[in-house]
Amino acid sequence: MSRATRRIERGDIMAPEDYARRRPELRKELVAMKRDRRLGIGPFITLYFENWDTMWGQVQEMLHIERGGEAQIADELSAYNPLIPNGRELVATMMIEIDDPDRRARMLAALGHIEDKVSLMFGGEEVTATPEDDAERTTPEGKTASVHFLHFRFTDAQVAVFRAAGQVIAAIKHANYGHMAILPATVKQALAADFA
C-alpha cells in the first residue's frame, strides 16, 4: 500500500521533543503542499483536500498542543485516519469561514444540510460528497456546523475520467448557497495523486 492511501501507524509518530525541534520546517513544508489542495467556492466556503501528510501533520499538532502523551495517540489516530483517502476517494474538510459572529450565526442557520449538496463534476460524471458519519452536523432546527468532513467516493471508471478530464468543477447546490469553482490544474494534479 502506498503512503498516499495507508493509515498513520504508531511508528509514524515523532517523539514530542523531535517534533518540537523540527516543527517550524515541517509546518513550512506542509503549508507549501496544502496550497495545491485548497479550493474556495463562493464567498466564504473553502474545501481543504486531505491526504496522509495533512492528517499526519494534524495528529502531530494535536499531540504537540495538548501534550496528552502516549494515552492521546490512539484517540488522535482513530479520529484522523478515516480522513485519509482510501485510494478510490477524495476527502475534504469543508470550512464555512465567516469572521463576523452575527453574520456567521445567520448563515449557519440558513445552510442546513449543505454537507449533502457538494459535488465534483468532470467529463460528464458527477460525484456527490458523503459527509463523515462521526456526528450529525446539522441540528434538528436546520443550523449547520462551520466544519464538515466530506468523502467523494469514485468508481474505477470515474477515476480514469477524472484524470483525463480537461476541467473539474466543484459545486455547492444549496438553495441558499449556489456556487461553483473550477479546480486549478495544480489542484487537480495534486488530487489525482490521491488515487491508488
pLDDT by residue (tens digit) across 52-106? 999 999 999 999 998 877 889 999 999 999 999 999 999 999 999 999 999 999 9
Q: State the CB neighbour count (10 A cutoff) for residue 7.
A: 14
Q: Residue 88: which of 187, 175, 4 has the closest Cα?
A: 4
Share the mean pLDDT of the chain: 93
pLDDT tens for each residue of 123-151: 999 999 999 876 677 888 889 999 999 99
pLDDT tens for each residue of 157-174: 999 999 999 999 999 999
Q: What is the DSSP letter of 85?
A: -
- pLDDT above 90: percentage of residues in the chain: 83
Orientation angle between helical segments 52-66 and 16-34, nearest 10 degrees: 140
The region, left, alpha or beta by phi > 0 then psi within -120 to 50, assigned to residue 76 is alpha
Alpha helices of 91-182 — where are they, by DSSP H? 101-110, 156-164
Strand order in 45-50's β-sheet? 38-41, 45-50, 89-96, 147-153, 130-131
Across the range 16-23, mean pLDDT stands at: 92
Is the pLDDT score of 10 beyond 50?
Answer: yes
Q: Are 167 and 121 in contact (CB under 8 A)?
A: no
Q: Are 159 and 174 in contact (CB under 8 A)?
A: no
Q: How far apart are the first and last CA of the chain?
A: 8
